[in-house]
């Protein structure tokens, strides 16, 4: 079951929800309860072989040379 990201048209609240059997069923906003939401384009995660287990995970805020880290090239900082 995929997790989709949505934005409420009424209050602009971004949220994620697990979509069960019917992917066309739109959820309601957990912030204001409105049912007018749009599905956002999600960024997919990319699995790469771990060459150095001591390197911080990409997206952890410690990669790309920040905080003295070795850098992974994802430009997260």
In this structure, are residues 74 and 58 in contact, taking their beta carbons and an 8 Å threshold? yes
- Total Cβ atoms within 10 A of residue 50: 9
Q: Residue 3's pLDDT is what?
A: 82
Q: Which band of pLDDT confidence, cut at 50, 70 and 90, is reported for residue 77?
A: very low
Q: What is the pLDDT of residues 8-46, one digit of tens each?
A: 999 999 999 887 777 677 799 999 999 999 999 876 656
Place of tokens 């995660």: 45
* Nearest one of 39, 41, 45 to 17, comparing CA atoms: 39
Please give the backbone phi and psi of residue 63, each rounded to the nearest 5 degrees, phi first: -100, -175
* More confident of the two residues 44 and 66: 44
Q: Is the pTM of this model over 0.85?
A: no
Q: Is the pLDDT at 5 greater than 70, yes or no?
A: yes
In this structure, are residues 27 and 6 in contact, taking their beta carbons and an 8 Å threshold? yes
Q: Please tell me the distance from the alpha carbon of residue 23 to that of residue 1, in angstroms, as a whole number.
A: 9
Q: Residue 65's pLDDT is what?
A: 52
Q: Residue 9's pLDDT is what?
A: 96
């Amino acid at each position: 079951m995929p997790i989709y990201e949505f934005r409420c048209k009424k209050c602009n609240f971004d949220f994620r929800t697990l979509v069960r059997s019917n992917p066309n069923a739109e959820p309601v906003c957990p912030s204001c309860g409105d049912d007018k939401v749009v599905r956002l384009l999600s960024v997919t995660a990319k699995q790469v072989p771990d060459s150095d287990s001591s390197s911080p995970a990409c997206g952890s805020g410690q990669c790309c040379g920040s905080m003295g880290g070795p850098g992974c090239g994802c430009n997260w900082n």
